[in-house]
């Protein structure tokens, strides 16, 4: 595989996609929080943690599913990722259902970004992140 051909990353396991999507989702949240102002980093980190967690990500996926926003191929990926065996599993109070849904959302995010469909992320996920930040900042 050519190191610069990210589209082939779509063929990786859903766990690998979720690992990558987790980083991309958190990066996007951090970037958008930073754009809101020069706040103390402890405040930024607390705000980030309210958006980047299994429960919040599971809720975001549920919103996408309830709205019928996902295509058939995206639904298939979400189903595979949600049902994939996970190592380590949820920590603390997190329940398995939320953890698996968050994993599915993260896999979907990576699948879009490495597959040349960043506009899907921009149109579906970015507004949801902004809405959550708006709610936290008020």
Contact 102, 57 (CB under 8 A): yes
Structural domain range at position 67: 11-137
88 within domain boundaries: yes
Q: What is the pLDDT of residue 125?
A: 97
Q: Is residue 45 part of a domain?
A: yes
pLDDT tens figures, 60-86: 999 999 999 999 999 999 999 999 876
Q: Which residues are catalytic?
A: 22
What does the angle CA 138 – CA 46 – CA 90 come to, to the nearest 5 degrees?
120
The four Cα atoms 120, 80, 114, 3 give a dihedral, to 10 degrees, of 180
Whether 112 has a pLDDT exceeding 80, the answer reads yes
pLDDT the model gives residue 84: 83
Please indicate, yes or no, if residue 3 is contained in any of the structural domains. no
**If you average pLDDT over every residue of the chain, what do you get?**
91
| pLDDT tens column, 28-68 | 999 999 999 999 999 999 999 999 999 999 999 999 999 99
Residue 137 has pLDDT above 70, yes or no: yes
Q: Classify each residue of 101-134 as buried b or exposed e, where b means 16 or more C-beta atoms within 10 Å of its C-beta.
A: bbbbbbbbbbbbbbbebeebbeebbeeebeebbe
**Where residue 75 sits, what CATH number does that domain have?**
1.10.1520.10
Query: Domains in the chain: how many in total?
Result: 1
């Amino acid at each position: 595989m050519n190191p610069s051909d990210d589209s082939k990353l779509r063929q990786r396991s859903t766990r690998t996609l979720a690992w990558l999507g987790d980083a991309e989702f958190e990066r996007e949240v951090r970037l958008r929080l930073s754009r809101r102002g020069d706040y103390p980093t402890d405040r930024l980190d607390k705000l980030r943690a309210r958006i980047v967690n299994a429960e919040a990500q599971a809720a975001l996926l549920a919103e996408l599913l309830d709205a019928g926003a996902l295509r058939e191929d995206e639904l298939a990926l979400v189903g595979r990722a949600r049902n994939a065996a996970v190592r380590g599993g949820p920590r603390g109070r997190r329940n398995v259902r939320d953890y698996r849904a968050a994993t599915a959302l993260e896999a979907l995010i990576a699948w879009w970004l490495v597959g040349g469909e960043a506009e899907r992320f921009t149109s579906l996920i970015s507004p949801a992140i902004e809405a959550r930040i708006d709610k936290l900042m008020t």
